[in-house]
């Protein structure tokens, strides 16, 4: 009896499964190529990280030849250049976040206050422009602007100052990195805030006005709380990226030179020089993997904290 | 009653004055941001029209000295054009491939009735937070034998998970009734996708076309790692002339290419983007909003 029932159950399950496939097979068919793509170009490299624990030789298996344990991890823990790169990554990322995050929010609040619709749209359009510019052109521009014959140095000279070779002085790198980053991202960063603001129910403002709240109090008590979930989500993403240097790789790589490695070399550029430049693939992968894992942990913690505090998170 | 309104009035005037001052200050701040944003571009344009002699004398500014178009004639005669052509080809092919494959993934993902999505969604999203390192990606592409081939430029970035999520959010916003009506009219699931969902998705398709084409247009990194000189896109060629002829990567700059030529090449490379992105601003702002709205 019970056996019978079980058989019937599996039979039912099976028929509902075939029915499901029968109904949706065309959608499943669509998924085949993208899934193969993700397996090959996203998951294979993820498992390819295994060479951090295995000896690899150029042209050999992408998963390495033989297991060597944590040899490469031990190596970089004692590597001063690694720690310098790690420190620079953190300094640049934290500095960038500290400037970019509040400035973007303030910029969004200010755009939201513009009354003339054409002016508002113009400001937005212009502010999106740097987002679309190639990092190559971005860095080319930076070099032109800060070069010893460029406009910034001309301004310094006309004010009676000494010209500065910004690009070859280590102490200027973080300033260049952060200010150009803010320049490029501030406009684009406002989109999600402005979207959240446009979703605020106008009756909230009216109610606050009836209660006697002036214009700026309404911003403080209605606008800011309404966009708080957006602020949190964006902040989590940013905190999750604090240790990561992948996004900054191209910019640093195009701007730095051996004279300023001291402040400019970040983990990903170091990984690049060691691995693709120097052929120490396993060692470089160990460093990159270490960074990726810390990143993942940070993101998880930030997400957890955000869920506890505001009930909203990334997952 | 009369007293209270008399009391209120001066307060309101005060606030209005404060608000008016704020509006003026706000206008000035915005003006400042607009100028700071546009200045580097105008400076490049100015340099590209400045004469070689003025550049050598170090005279540069927002107004070109010794205005002439010789630099453009020179750049457009050289190898620049063949790299420009490569970029156009890669951008067109890459964008089409990206759009098709991303839509193939995003559309089924948007269907909550698809049971497999319980596994698929985390499988896709996870790659946003963790993945291969720079090295393992490089080893993979080389291991697949793609070095010195055009697919090495396109494939590693063909599907962007973030863009897939944006597309999925858009597909989810399409009213179910419309798709069901299509099925009642005898369309298959695939038919509904092609004949009903896609025509309704012009805003997101416009957005994705812009995002993906900008991505391919701007990429230099894959070219730098995988392509041979003849195959270079213009972005990487630009990088080599910004760096200076003969200088190695990461060495800092050699100054063998003069600023007017560099500027001219940069202006020509950035021009198509400047012309296109404002036109479909309405769509991508909407598209970004959809992705940002929590489900």
Question: In chain B, which residue's Cα lies nearest the Cα of A300?
Answer: B129
Domain of residue A246, residue span: 71-310
Six-digit token string for A279 = 């052929």
For residue A192, the chain B residues in CB contact (below 8 A) are: 288-289, 292
pLDDT confidence tier of residue B192, bands split at 50, 70 and 90: very high
Residue numbers of B between 208 and 227 with CB closer than 8 Å to A: 214, 217-221, 225
- Which range of A51-65, A116-130, A195-209, B58-72 scores highest in mean pLDDT? It is A116-130
Average of pLDDT values for A199-221?
Answer: 88
Q: Are residues A11 and A85 in the same domain?
A: no
Q: Cβ distance A227 to A193 under 8 Å?
A: yes
Assembly ipTM: 0.88
Q: Is B107 touching A (CB cutoff 8 A)? A: yes
3-state secondary structure of B90: helix
Residue B282 has a pLDDT of 87
For residue A258, the chain B residues in CB contact (below 8 A) are: 250-252
Residue B21 has pLDDT above 50, yes or no: yes
Q: Is B188 touching A (CB cutoff 8 A)? A: yes
The DSSP result for chain A, as a single string, is -HHHHHHHHHHHHHHHHHHHHHHHHHHHHHHHHHHHHHIIIIIHHHHHGGGGSEE--TTS-TT-SEE-TTHHHHHHHT-HHHHHHHHHHHHHHHHHHHHHHHHHHHHHHHHHT---HHHHHHHHHHHHGGGGS-HHHHHHHHHHHHSTTSHHHHHHHHTT-----GGG-GGGHHHHHHHHHHHHHHHHHHHHHHHHHHTS-HHHHHHHHHTT--HHHHIIIIIHHHHHHHHHHHHHHHHHTSS--TTTHHHHHHH--GGGHHHH--HHHHHHIIIIIT--HHHHHHHHHHHHHHHHHHHHHHHHHHHHHHS----
Residue A1 has a pLDDT of 45
Question: In chain B, which residue's Cα lies nearest the Cα of A191?
Answer: B285
pLDDT above 90 covers what percent of chain A? 53
**How many Cβ atoms are within 10 Å of B136's Cβ, its own excluded?**
29
Residue numbers of B between 22 and 51 with CB closer than 8 Å to A: 22-23, 26-27, 29-30, 33-34, 36-38, 40-41, 43-44, 47
A45 to B288: CB separation less than 8 angstroms, yes or no: no
In a domain, A93, yes or no: yes
Q: Is B203 touching A (CB cutoff 8 A)? A: no
Nearest by CB: B60 against A107, A123, A149: A149
In a domain, A64, yes or no: no
**Min Cα separation B242/chain A (Å):** 6
The tens digit of pLDDT for each residue in A163-183 reads 898 988 999 999 999 999 999
The pTM of the full predicted model, rounded to 2 decimals, is 0.89
Residue numbers of B between 69 and 98 with CB closer than 8 Å to A: none
Average of pLDDT values for A1-19?
Answer: 64
C-alpha distances (whole Å) from B227 to each of A63, A246, B132, B141, B253 are 24, 21, 21, 12, 22
**Min Cα separation B82/chain A (Å):** 18
Q: Could you give the CA distance from residue B79 to residue B284 in angstroms, rounded to a whole number?
A: 34
Q: Are residues A134 and A176 in the same domain?
A: yes
Three-state secondary structure readout of A70-117: CHHHHHHHCCHHHHHHHHHHHHHHHHHHHHHHHHHHHHHHHHHCCCCH
**Nearest C-alpha neighbor of A137 from the set B89, B151, B262, B173:** B262
Burial class (CB in 10 A: 0-12, 13-18, 19+), B88: middle
Six-digit token string for B131 = 């993945």
The single-letter DSSP state of residue B200 is: G
Residue B9 has pLDDT above 90, yes or no: no
Q: Are residues A177 and A204 in the same domain?
A: yes
Thinking of the domain B79-292, which architecture would CATH place it in?
Answer: Orthogonal Bundle (1.10)
Residue B62 has a pLDDT of 83
The tens digit of pLDDT for each residue in B260-285 reads 889 999 999 999 999 999 998 988 88
Average of pLDDT values for B90-112?
Answer: 97
Nearest by CB: A296 against B129, B239, B281: B129
Maximum Cα–Cα distance for chain B, whole Å?
A: 87
For residue B58, the chain A residues in CB contact (below 8 A) are: 149
Q: Are residues A82 and A42 in the same domain?
A: no
Residue A176: alpha-carbon gap to chain centroid: 19
Average of pLDDT values for A13-21?
Answer: 81
Six-digit token string for A292 = 């990726």
Residue B167 has a pLDDT of 94
Least confident of B87-96, B159-168, B201-210, B257-266: B257-266
Average of pLDDT values for B172-188?
Answer: 91
Residue B57: alpha-carbon gap to chain centroid: 36
Residue B41 has pLDDT above 90, yes or no: yes
Q: Cβ distance A107 to B26 under 8 Å?
A: no
**Min Cα separation B66/chain A (Å):** 17
The structure tokens 């793609």 sit at B146
Average of pLDDT values for B76-99?
Answer: 95
Nearest by CB: B273 against A30, A132, A259: A132
Nearest by CB: A253 against B250, B252, B293: B250
Q: Is B128 touching A (CB cutoff 8 A)? A: no
In a domain, A315, yes or no: no
Q: Could you give the CA distance from residue B239 to residue B249 in angstroms, rounded to a whole number?
A: 9
B60 to A150: CB separation less than 8 angstroms, yes or no: yes
Q: Are residues A83 and A182 in the same domain?
A: yes
Residue B11 has a pLDDT of 47
Name residue A66's beta-bridge partners: A55
Residue A64 has pLDDT above 60, yes or no: yes
Q: Are residues A20 and A103 in the same domain?
A: no
Nearest by CB: A191 against B105, B214, B285: B285
pLDDT confidence tier of residue B10, bands split at 50, 70 and 90: very low
The tens digit of pLDDT for each residue in B199-247 reads 999 999 999 999 999 999 999 999 999 999 999 999 999 998 888 754 5
Q: Cβ distance A187 to A100 under 8 Å?
A: no
- How many structural domains is chain A composed of? 2
Mutate one of B11, B35, B42, B135 to test the A interface: name it (highest A CB count within 10 A): B135
Q: Are residues A47 and A76 in the same domain?
A: no
Q: Cβ distance B139 to B156 under 8 Å?
A: no
Residue pairs between chains A and B whose CB atoms are closer than 8 Å: 271
Q: Are residues A92 and A195 in the same domain?
A: yes
For residue A29, the chain B residues in CB contact (below 8 A) are: 190
Six-digit token string for B179 = 């798709």
Q: Are residues A140 and A88 in the same domain?
A: yes
Residue B148 has pLDDT above 80, yes or no: yes
Q: Are residues A46 and A77 in the same domain?
A: no
Q: Are residues A261 and A223 in the same domain?
A: yes
Six-digit token string for B201 = 């998705």
Mean pLDDT of chain B: 87
pLDDT confidence tier of residue B193, bands split at 50, 70 and 90: very high
Q: Are residues A136 and A249 in the same domain?
A: yes
């Amino acid at each position: 009896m019970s056996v019978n029932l079980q058989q019937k159950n599996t039979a039912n399950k099976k028929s509902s499964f075939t029915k499901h496939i029968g109904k949706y097979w065309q959608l499943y068919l669509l998924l085949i190529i993208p899934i193969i793509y993700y397996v090959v170009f996203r998951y294979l490299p993820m498992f390819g990280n295994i060479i951090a624990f295995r000896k690899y030789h150029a042209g050999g298996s992408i998963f390495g030849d033989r297991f060597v344990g944590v040899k490469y991890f031990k190596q970089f823990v004692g590597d001063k250049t690694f720690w310098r790169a790690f420190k620079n990554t953190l300094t640049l990322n934290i500095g960038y976040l500290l400037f970019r995050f509040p400035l973007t929010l303030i910029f969004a609040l200010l755009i939201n206050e513009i009354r003339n619709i054409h002016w508002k749209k113009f400001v937005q359009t212009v502010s999106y422009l740097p987002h679309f510019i190639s990092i190559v052109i971005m860095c080319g521009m930076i070099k032109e602007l800060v070069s010893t014959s460029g406009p910034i140095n001309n301004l310094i000279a006309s004010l009676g100052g000494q010209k500065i070779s910004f690009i070859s002085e280590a102490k200027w790198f973080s300033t260049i990195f952060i200010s150009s980053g803010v320049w490029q991202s501030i406009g684009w960063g406002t989109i999600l805030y402005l979207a959240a603001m446009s979703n605020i129910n106008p009756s909230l403002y009216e109610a606050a006005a009836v209660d006697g709240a002036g214009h700026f109090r309404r911003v403080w008590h209605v606008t800011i709380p309404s966009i708080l979930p957006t602020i949190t989500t964006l902040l989590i993403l940013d905190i999750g990226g604090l240790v990561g240097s992948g996004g900054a790789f191209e910019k640093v790589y195009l701007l730095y030179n051996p004279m300023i490695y001291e402040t400019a070399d970040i983990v990903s550029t170091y990984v690049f020089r060691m691995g693709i430049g120097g052929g120490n693939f396993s060692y470089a992968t160990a460093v990159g993997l270490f960074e990726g894992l810390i990143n993942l942990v940070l993101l998880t913690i930030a997400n957890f904290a955000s869920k506890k505090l505001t009930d909203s998170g990334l997952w | 009653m009369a007293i209270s309104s008399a009391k209120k009035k001066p307060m309101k005037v005060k606030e209005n004055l404060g608000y008016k001052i704020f509006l003026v200050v706000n206008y000035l701040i915005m003006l400042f941001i607009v100028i700071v944003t546009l200045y580097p571009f105008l400076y490049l344009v100015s340099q590209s029209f400045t004469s070689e002699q003025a550049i050598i004398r170090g005279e540069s500014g927002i107004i070109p000295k010794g205005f002439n178009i010789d630099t453009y004639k020179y750049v457009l005669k050289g190898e620049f054009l063949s790299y420009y052509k490569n970029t156009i080809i890669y951008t067109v092919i890459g964008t089409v491939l990206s759009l098709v494959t991303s839509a193939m993934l995003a559309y089924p993902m948007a269907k909550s009735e698809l049971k497999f999505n319980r596994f698929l969604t985390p499988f896709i999203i996870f790659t946003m937070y963790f993945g291969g390192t720079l090295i393992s990606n490089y080893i993979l592409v080389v291991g697949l034998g793609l070095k010195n081939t055009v697919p090495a430029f396109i494939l590693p970035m063909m599907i962007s998970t973030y863009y897939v999520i944006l597309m999925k959010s858009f597909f989810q916003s399409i009213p179910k009734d419309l798709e069901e009506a299509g099925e009642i009219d005898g369309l298959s699931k695939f038919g509904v996708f092609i004949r009903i969902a896609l025509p309704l998705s012009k805003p997101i398709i416009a957005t994705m076309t812009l995002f993906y084409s900008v991505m391919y247009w701007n990429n230099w990194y894959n070219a730098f790692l995988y392509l041979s000189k003849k195959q270079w896109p213009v972005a990487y060629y630009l990088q080599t002339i910004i760096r200076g002829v003969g200088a190695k990567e990461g060495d800092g700059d050699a100054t063998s290419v003069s600023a007017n030529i560099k500027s001219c090449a940069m202006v020509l490379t950035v021009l198509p983007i400047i012309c296109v992105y404002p036109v479909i601003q309405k769509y991508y702002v909407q598209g970004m909003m959809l992705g940002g709205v929590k489900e």
